[in-house]
Amino acid sequence: MISDNSMLDFSNLNDFLSFYERVLNTRWNIQTGDFNTRGKEIYNKPYTEKLRLLFHEKKLFRRTVSIAEIVSWLDSYVIIKRLINFLNNNLKDNEFNRLSLYCEYRIAMSKNRRIDFVFEYENKLLLIEFRLSEKFPNVSNVWQKKELELIIYKELMSNYIKESTKIYIYAFIAMPEYRKDIRIDKHVTYNHNNVKHLGEYIIKYLIDRENEK
């Protein structure tokens, strides 16, 4: 059900890494600046056209995808790639291989509301919303806004997801790591720590080794 209503679906996390290297094949940096302005540099890149095509082929959405959305996806894919590498280094093979990932999942009967990422493990789902903030999130309300969205999405999904399925939520607020070609070290460190925290969250709640013994 989830795969049928997602722009991208990966039954194995290695499939996402393969997609990233094969399709995107870009040294993308999470930059400061307006998404539309950043998008001008990649408007006709092959990977941009591929993402447009994937969005259109699924026929889940009534409009075309904007360049700003594609820039946001590329930012978030960088983070997801790091997260998957963290999980690969910290999970047993049989745990890692049982995780699935869905991108741009459309919630049923929700007027095309979409969740950025859904991780699936056995009978558990983790809904992740991604946002880029140039201000440190702990001094802004960006986290609260994203968490409220996720609470609404979780409630909407509870209308049709099996009662035995446990749904978790996580708002990932990232920071731009470069200003043009200048690396912003404190933002890189912030993102690194946030990826680690999300990875530990997945291990604790989705994998839940204590209850699998």
Percent of the chain having pLDDT more than 90? 80
> How much is the pLDDT for 80?
98
Going from N- to C-terminal start, the domains of the chain cover 3-212
Mean pLDDT over the full length of the chain: 93
> How much is the pLDDT for 182?
96
> How much is the pLDDT for 139?
56
Res. 212: pLDDT tops 70: no
> How much is the pLDDT for 51?
95
Tell me, yes or no, if the pTM score tops 0.85.
Answer: yes
CATH architecture of 3-212: 3-Layer(aba) Sandwich (3.40)
> How much is the pLDDT for 69?
96
Q: Are 40 and 143 in contact (CB under 8 A)?
A: no
